[in-house]
Amino acid sequence: MASDERVCVLEQTPNVEAIITALLDESTPQTEFVQFSRRVIRLVIEAGINFLDMEDHTVETPSGHPFQGLKLVQEPCGISIMRAGEAMEQGLRDSLQSINMGHMLIQRDRENPSSDPQIYFHHLPANIDKKPILLLDPIIDSGATIINALRILVKEGAEDKRIIILSVFASDAGIDRVLGSFPNVRIALARKMDNCQAVRFSKRYFGT
């Protein structure tokens, strides 16, 4: 866990370091880039799930003995920011198989690339005002895209304290901007780095 309890960065184990190295290597083939991405995405998702509320839960083991453990208080919904966020959807479904998904399309004006991104489309799961939300976007660079997504979610009734952002790479500036605008959200990510867009995540993951 990072020093800010709202931000969880994966422990930089040798395994995580090796995956990150492969993702940043421009010579990594597209098929391998996808495989490495899926591995680290799954780790980020599991880290993000740790932010969700749990409650005590006792079960009976196959040998007939009780086990006192935990279970989710409430299953969240997932929302991916297209199209990069779609790369994280399968990993989320692998972890939470019955999760309901929504989507947002947020893009910059190609004729004015320095402007903040605008929302062109959103389809959200029902009752987002009553559920925790896992917001998927592999890259947090300036933070503008995530902030626009959060504005829509809050406008539609979501509580920012129940929103968890799942990402792969994020810059300190982007994280600070997001938390400065929405101080109650939580963020789970694989690695902090400057100039996250240099990874070209979407182009390399989808091969286009």
Q: Is the pLDDT of residue 156 over 50?
A: yes
- Over the range 141-176, which residues count as b (16 or more CB within 10 Å of their CB) and which as e? bbbbbbbbbbeebbeeebbbebbbbbbbbbbeebbe
pLDDT of the residue at 83: 83
Q: Is the pLDDT of residue 8 over 50?
A: yes
Nearest to 175 by CA among 162, 156, 189: 189
Whichever domain contains 179, its CATH number is 3.40.50.2020
Query: In angstroms, rounded to a whole number, what is the distance separating the alpha carbons of residues 47 and 82?
Result: 22
For 66-123, what is each residue's pLDDT tens digit? 999 999 999 999 999 988 999 999 999 999 988 999 999 877 666 665 566 777 788 8
Which has the higher per-residue pLDDT, 61 or 116? 61
pLDDT of the residue at 74: 93
pLDDT of the residue at 153: 95
pLDDT of the residue at 108: 66
State the chain's mean pLDDT as an integer: 92
In a domain, 2, yes or no: no
What distances in angstroms separate CA 87 from CA 30, 45, 167, one per listed residue? Answer: 13, 12, 11
In a domain, 63, yes or no: no
In a domain, 1, yes or no: no
pLDDT of the residue at 4: 80
Interval 123-148 mean pLDDT:
93
Domain that holds residue 15: 7-58+68-206
* Cα within 13 Å of Cα(131), Cβ side: 19
Output the pTM of the full model.
0.91
Beta strands across the sheet bearing 191-192: 139-140, 169-170, 191-192
pLDDT of the residue at 2: 42
pLDDT of the residue at 109: 62
For 12-54, what is each residue's pLDDT tens digit? 999 999 999 999 999 999 999 999 999 999 999 999 999 999 9
Nearest to 126 by CA among 158, 163, 90, 81: 158
What distances in angstroms separate CA 175 from CA 121, 127, 152, 191, 206, one per listed residue? Answer: 24, 27, 18, 12, 25
In a domain, 186, yes or no: yes
The tally of domains found in the chain comes to: 1
What distances in angstroms separate CA 37 from CA 180, 201, 208, one per listed residue? Answer: 28, 9, 16
In a domain, 133, yes or no: yes
